[in-house]
Amino acid sequence: MAISITRDDKQYITEDAPVLYELDNPEAEQRPPVPDSPVAPAHTPHKGTPDHMVLRTENLVKKYGKRTVVNHVSIDVTQGEIVGLLGPNGAGKTTTFYMTTGLIIPNEGQIYINDMNITKYPVYRRAQYGIGYLAQEPSVFRKLSVEDNIRAVLQMTKTTVEYQKEKLESLLDEFSLQHVRKNLGDQLSGGERRRTEIARCLAINPKFIMLDEPFAGVDPIAVEDIQRVVYSLKEKNIGILITDHNAPETLSITDRAYLLFDGKILFQGTSEQLAENPVVREKYLGTQFIFNRKKFN
């Protein structure tokens, strides 16, 4: 049965929850034009192995009526790398991100983990195959403590009680949450909340984590704290896909990035290549943009 719901002032219709079909998409409005001479260096992803998996999309298309919001977009992220998905408002990056996570169904194109087609899988089923998703909006259970937020996810895994206890303590230590373990979700700072949400994601031992605006709503000191956490996920051989409006902070930790304009990939390459490209600087980053690579080793 179809159900109409509202999220972030957008209206959606659901058929197989939690898959969402957006009825009115603001991204399709006031979209920036593609520059006359777009540049997009070729990047050929490998199809992955059981020990080194790849999450990839092939020629994703999303239309709302006669408007094409995403136009044949192909991206990929491999375990152990951080990839950014950037673009101005209306460029199609959020829609591309949501199609990759399973929140929106594409009109055309496919999504794979290695050679397994997951295009029609809803979010919860993709999680079973190792894709964790961290929403932009606060997702902690507000009236549960930090430890109970993490425990609630652990209890859904097919593991022993002893393992769940050990995993809980390990996550609390790893994300510096021991001192707030008894605090309720609505008592946490922005940085503490983000760390709790990421710790919950790790409770299912994901191969990939999708981060939607991870730097939104946190102060500058907490941003660097979150970046350090994201970098540690890379060292755990987890593939990270980030979409965020904070381009400087995103590029400072990503290995590669895609820049979308008018629903198409304008540029793809390393963060350094993107930061140095004159078209990218003129159309998106600004001519005075200063690139600063952060290292957390």
Name the pLDDT band for 17 (thresholds 50, 70, 90). Answer: very low
Q: What is the CATH number of the domain that holds 162?
A: 3.40.50.300
User: Does residue 40 belong to any structural domain of this protein?
Assistant: no
State both tokens at 110: 């496919």
Per-residue pLDDT, averaged over 193-207, amounts to 90
User: Does residue 268 belong to any structural domain of this protein?
Assistant: yes
Instruction: Please compute Rg for the chain using Cα positions.
Output: 19
User: Does residue 91 belong to any structural domain of this protein?
Assistant: yes
User: Does residue 165 belong to any structural domain of this protein?
Assistant: yes
State both tokens at 61: 């298309």
State both tokens at 40: 């997009």
CA nearest neighbour of 210 among 87, 127, 267, 266: 127
Per-residue pLDDT, averaged over 109-131, amounts to 93
Q: What is the pLDDT of residue 41?
A: 54
User: Does residue 185 belong to any structural domain of this protein?
Assistant: yes
> How many domains are there within the chain?
1
User: Does residue 5 belong to any structural domain of this protein?
Assistant: no
User: Does residue 211 belong to any structural domain of this protein?
Assistant: yes
User: Does residue 221 belong to any structural domain of this protein?
Assistant: yes
d(CA 59, CA 94) in angstroms, rounded, equals 16
Name the pLDDT band for 83 (thresholds 50, 70, 90). Answer: very high
pTM for the model: 0.80
Per-residue model confidence as pLDDT tens digits over 37-71: 455 555 566 666 667 799 999 999 999 999 999 99
Per-residue pLDDT, averaged over 137-156, amounts to 90
| Residue 227 belongs to domain spanning | 48-285
